[in-house]
Amino acid sequence: MSIYSFSLLTTQSMTETLLTYNNPIKERVGRAKPPRAGLGFLGVALLLACYLAIVAAAIASLEQLAGHPIAGQLPGRALRPLGLWLPARLADALARFLPFVDRADLTFHVLVIVLFVLYLALLWLSWRLATTAGRRRGVLWLVGGVLLVSGGILVVAPGMLSHDIFVYAGYGRVMVAHGANPYFVPLSAFPGDPLTSLDDWKTAVAAYGPLWLMVCAALSWLLGGNAPAYVLAFRLLALGAHLLNMGLIVRLLRALGRSQRVITLGAVLYGLNPLMLIESALGAHNDVLMMTCLLLGCCCADPEGRRLERVRYWLPALVAMLLAVLIKFTALLGVLLFLCLLLFRTLQRDGSRQLLLALRLRWRPALTRLLLALGCMVLLVGLAYLPFWLGHSLHDIVVSLLAPPSTSRDLGQFSILRAIQEWRYYHRQPLGGWTGQMLDLLGQRSTWNLLQGLALLMALGVALWLLWEQPRLERWALGALLTMGAIFLVTPWFFPWYLVWLVALAPPALPERGSSAALEYALQVFVLAFSLSAFAVYFSRGYMPAGGGWIGWMGLSAVAPPLLAFGLTWLGGWWWGQRQGTQGGFQRPLSGS
């Protein structure tokens, strides 16, 4: 079974589970009792032990799949013998169906599938077990301990699925070792630097915010030119942010008044997600720290929303979210949605749900808060960028902001656009008729930029409507999930670690008690399916030589399963709602005790 067929089967089973779980007839017969505490904890402990064993077993195939001479100096290479388990006959049999995939590829992705099966089983058992605060704490301590150990294994792993660590280290070297400005001077300007040959983007200027550059500079000041030390340092930083995010999710769900079950489910949903663990403890991507700031902003705000209009609550939340923007500019969408949340609560303070009437009655305080918030944003962002922009013209600043490869190149990356471009490169003979014209159109970056803009506008319209109906943090998270999910489906530039956005905001967007939540359930299934299908980017290294092979499916294999999962779950919820005479779909809440 491939990673993609497994994701489809998982989607189908989850949809059937939701339909069965929401059956009111079964509720009248009697709700199944949760397992005994002792047996439940034993089951969780066994599953977590298997989870840890699979992570350790993946080290060997990971090194064979994506070995790196610098990461190979780390002590994780001692775990190689644990993962050399795939029988040769099985590999030969699978190679008949997948001739372009080697043994390491098969082993790694089989282990990923097993890891996801354990993850889903832990989600179910955690939901069944955590009915009281004591049980919740016990499960969370077990999960936290296993995350710490398994994350530690990945920190010292000799493989690297991504080389972004050396990009980050390069920014620090430009500032500390060479006294230059990374927004205007790339690392390639210093060919003698020991990290220049390791940096895949050495010819590009910095693509991240000044707060992240300060982090890179601090580590560069401490580590100098020691390349293996950078790998350990950035991995430890990302693993710490990952664990902190799980703690912030627990605090946020508790402040939102969710049940013990939902608190545990939300923590496990984020913490044990295999993609998040790998992209933090192994990939060390700054997206994890960006989401730390966004979650911290949610915790700073009044989670129940009763006092969110007060400056003492929304201003610290806004500042924390702006720190996320100063790490990576994509967090700006979350900040803008938060401003809309603040404005909608201000407009609806008198209880009016009619937009024109609310504007007529409350436009002055709404405008005042908007101007104050925008002023704080301009002040904080301006102060952060000012040291880097002093002495440079406006033209140079604009060129620097538009220079990152993700925005300045016509080439796509791990997307449907890139698959089409690669296919056209290896098949030079042009196709005639409407097929050739369609490929020509879809092979242009401008086409997908337009599609991405349209997806953003449509999803943002739905998100704002949902936020206006219920201006609360849960709807803010739901709107961010919907908007970013739509963007990721059609973006010309995609990497798996971008999904930190979705997985981190999935717990606060869990359906509430008594809600008809077909959309909420569909988005949760979408996130789970996307977390698995995103590993298609790493399958056979993403690309193939002449002859096609995997490249023809690379883009669709990542985005088609979550899109199909979302559609099936939403349609199933709509059908069930029609059958039960409701308007929104599933009636059974996830926040029940």
Mean pLDDT of 311-329: 92
**Residues for the chain: how many in total?**
593
For 152-170, the pLDDT digits (tens) are: 999 999 989 999 999 999 9
User: How confident is the prediction for the chain on average, in pLDDT?
Assistant: 83
The DSSP code sequence of 200-238 is TTTTS---S-HHHHHHHHHHHHHHTT-HHHHHHHHHHHH
Assigned token pair, 146: 């296993």
pLDDT score at 553: 60
CA gap 200, 214 in Å, rounded: 21
Q: pLDDT band at residue 233, thresholds of 50, 70 and 90?
A: very high
What predicted TM-score, i.e. pTM, was given to this entire model? 0.87
pLDDT score at 437: 82
For 83-130, the pLDDT digits (tens) are: 666 666 666 666 666 666 677 777 888 889 999 999 999 999 888 877
Residue 546 predicted with pLDDT over 50 = no
Q: pLDDT band at residue 578, thresholds of 50, 70 and 90?
A: low
The DSSP code sequence of 107-167 is HHHHHHHHHHHHHHHHHHHHHHH--SHHHHHHHHHHHHHHHHHHHHHHHT-SB-S--HHHH
Most confident stretch, 43-47, 231-235, 301-305, 421-425: 231-235
CA gap 22, 34 in Å, rounded: 17
Mean pLDDT of 363-392: 91
Beta-bridge partner residues of 493: 413
pLDDT score at 557: 81
The burial class, CB within 10 Å (0-12 / 13-18 / 19+), for 12 is: middle
Q: Are 249 and 270 in contact (CB under 8 A)?
A: yes
CA gap 185, 446 in Å, rounded: 28
pLDDT score at 95: 64
Mean pLDDT of 420-425: 77
Residue 254 predicted with pLDDT over 50 = yes
Q: What is the dihedral of CA 339, 340, 341, 343, to 10 degrees?
A: 90
Q: pLDDT band at residue 19, thresholds of 50, 70 and 90?
A: very low
Q: What is the residue extent of each domain of the chain?
A: 3-26+36-580
Amino acid present at 475: R
Beta-bridge partner residues of 413: 493
Q: pLDDT band at residue 364, thresholds of 50, 70 and 90?
A: confident
Query: Under the phi-then-psi rule, with left for phi > 0, alpha for psi from -120 to 50, and beta for the rest, what region is 19?
Result: alpha
Residue 13 predicted with pLDDT over 60 = no
Q: Are 477 and 509 in contact (CB under 8 A)?
A: yes
CA gap 434, 375 in Å, rounded: 51
CA gap 233, 40 in Å, rounded: 37
For the ranges 269-278, 355-364, 380-389, the lowest mean pLDDT is seen at 355-364
For 24-72, the pLDDT digits (tens) are: 333 334 444 555 556 777 888 899 999 999 999 899 888 888 888 998 8
The DSSP code sequence of 328-393 is -GGGHHHHHHHHHHHHHHHHTTTS---HHHHHHHHHHHHHHHHHHHHHHHHHHHHHHHHHHHTT--
Q: Which residue has the tokens 């398994």?
A: 150
Q: pLDDT band at residue 403, thresholds of 50, 70 and 90?
A: confident
Biggest CA–CA distance in the chain, Å, is 74
Assigned token pair, 502: 């979705």
Most confident stretch, 179-183, 403-407, 516-520, 541-545: 179-183
Q: pLDDT band at residue 11, thresholds of 50, 70 and 90?
A: very low
For 487-537, the pLDDT digits (tens) are: 999 988 889 999 999 999 999 999 875 455 788 889 999 999 999 999 888
CA gap 503, 573 in Å, rounded: 22
CA gap 137, 319 in Å, rounded: 31
pLDDT score at 556: 76
CA gap 54, 48 in Å, rounded: 10
Cα 451 to the center of its chain, rounded Å: 21
pLDDT score at 306: 64
Nearest 5°: CA angle at 366, between 459 and 333? 30
